[in-house]
Amino acid sequence: MDRIPLVHSSLGEKELAAVAEVFSSGWPAGQGPRGKALETQLAERYGVGDAVALSNCGAALHLAMLALGVKPGDEVIVADYTFPAPAHAVRYVDAVPVFADVRADTGTVDPQAVADLIGPRTVGVIAVDTVGLPADYAELNSIADRHGLFVVEDAACAVGATYQGRQAGALAPVACLSFHGRKGATSGEGGALITADPALAADARLRSSFGIGSIFDQAQTVGLPIPVFTDIGYNYKLSDIAAAILQVQLERVEELLERRSAVAARYAELLADEELLTVPHVPQDRTHAWQSYVVTLDRAVDRGEVATALRAQGIGSGHGTWATHLQPVYRSKQRCPVSADLFRRNLAVPMHAELTMSQVERVVEVLRTALRTSASGRAA
Ligand SMILES: *Cc1c(COP(=O)(O)O)cnc(C)c1O
């Protein structure tokens, strides 16, 4: 049986060769020559002032909260339908995440919901490019400007996506990227903070290395400089090994995304007439990075049964992402009905750059049968 996994990282010979070079350079740790080169590459790619290479996107979000000066008790409005990293980051600094519901058609944060939640303690908004689809930044940035709030773009899944012709990752004053193994460009684990504000980047960079400057840089200067700790920082550095992998991956983003886009187009074509599910909607003014391909099942279908039927045929699937406000850790009394509904009904089907069209066709065939069986079983 041909097993078709939900996700698969496209790492190959070029990435291996880049790692071998780091081994022989003698500097595998963070903030070395490869990390610097990666930061330059990222800043150029996004056309912004600075990029800070970090160990993961969760760290980037944490450093963004610190650099933006979020204080205990402040309220930060977060998109609800997402991997809950944004709300976690708000809690890292003892601030209060306020959950904003999402658009039913895109799963991205609803700008009206954000506007309705602004109160005297609100300091900012974290929007999410949901599984790779950018949110409504024109509206979000204008609401934030009117109220003097910051906007952070969680572009963890969106490397390669665009909004009104601009790259995801450059759609808000601060953006956070993930290079986790399940994202479109990866070094296994990895992340970055992208910003036009040099002071913000400097703050994040310093706090990412225990509150001292680059040890590699210090070693290059003459004499015996003793680093000075000016902050209680963290160790959120990206290793130069990971940076080398990412330099290769970033060069391949367009090629890999082209393949994922072809997979998405084929799914959409084959499932267009399927009444028991809705395929993803991509508004005219943006493009999707297709980190996941998430369909919304009809209420007549039992999602667990469909997942079981897919698994029996060796096909991976997933629940999509989370309704953050429903996670027990938040003990939230808020309601985000659209997000809760997507959390119940969405199903992620295999999506990666190595899928063949015949595999996509087989997924659709098994999926269609499973949908029919489940819907008729429930009707009976
Ligand atoms: C994956 C993900 C994260 C976390 O990224 P890490 O690099 O694993 O820390 C954050 N936000 C969103 C929206 C994600 O999908």
Which atom of ligand 1 is nearest to 128's Cα?
13
Radius of gyration of the chain (CA): 21
Closest atom, ligand 1, to C-alpha of 129: 13
Model confidence over 298-324: pLDDT tens digits?
Answer: 999 999 999 999 999 999 999 999 999
Expressed in angstroms and rounded, the spacing between residue 106 Cα and the centre of ligand 1 is: 18
Cβ < 6 Å from ligand 1: which residues? Answer: 56-58, 82-83, 85, 128, 154, 156-157, 178, 180, 191
Distance 56 CA to ligand 1 centre (A): 8
pLDDT at 380: 59
Identify which of 52, 157, 178 to mutate to test ligand 1's pocket (most ligand atoms within 8 A of the CB).
Answer: 178
Catalytic annotation, residues: 183
For ligand 1, the distance from its centroid to the CA atom of residue 187, given in whole angstroms, is 13
Are 321 and 83 within 8 A, CB to CB?
Answer: yes
Sign of CA dihedral 102, 105, 111, 117: negative
The residues near 268 (Cβ < 8 Å, ≥ 6 apart) are 279, 280
pLDDT of residue 230: 86
Ligand 1 pocket test: pick from 128, 133, 157, 327 the residue with the most ligand atoms within 8 Å of its Cβ. 157
Cβ(60)–Cβ(177) under 8 Å? Answer: yes
**Ligand 1 mean position to 321 CA, how many Å?**
11
What pLDDT score was predicted for residue 374? 95
Distance 83 CA to ligand 1 centre (A): 6
Residue found by looking up tokens 């008729």 in the block: 376
Nearest ligand 1 atom to the CA of 131 is 15
What tens digit of pLDDT does each residue of 333-365 get? Answer: 999 999 999 999 999 999 999 999 999 999 999
> What are the E-state strand segments in 138-226?
150-154, 162-163, 166-167, 174-178, 191-195
Nearest CA to ligand 1 atom 10: 85
Q: Which domains does the chain have, with CATH numbers?
A: 13-251 (3.40.640.10), 254-379 (3.90.1150.10)
From the CA of 321, give the closest atom in ligand 1.
15
Coil, strand, or helix at residue 237?
A: strand
Nearest to 153 by CA among 132, 177, 117: 177
Q: From first to last of its 380 residues, what are the pLDDT tens digits of the chain?
A: 789 999 999 999 999 999 999 999 999 999 999 999 999 999 999 999 899 999 999 999 999 999 999 999 999 999 999 999 999 999 999 999 999 999 999 999 999 999 999 999 999 999 999 999 999 999 999 999 999 999 999 999 999 999 999 999 999 999 999 999 999 999 999 999 999 999 999 999 999 999 988 888 888 888 888 888 988 999 999 999 999 999 999 999 999 999 999 999 999 999 999 999 999 999 999 999 999 999 999 999 999 999 999 999 999 999 999 999 999 999 999 999 999 999 999 999 999 999 999 999 999 999 999 999 999 887 65
pLDDT for the residue 258: 98
Nearest atom, ligand 1, residue 60 CA: 9
User: What distance in angstroms lies between residue 345's CA and the mean position of ligand 1's atoms?
Assistant: 21
| Minimal-distance CA residue to ligand 1 atom 2 | 156
Which pairing describes strands 191-195 and 50-54: parallel, antiparallel, or unpaired? antiparallel
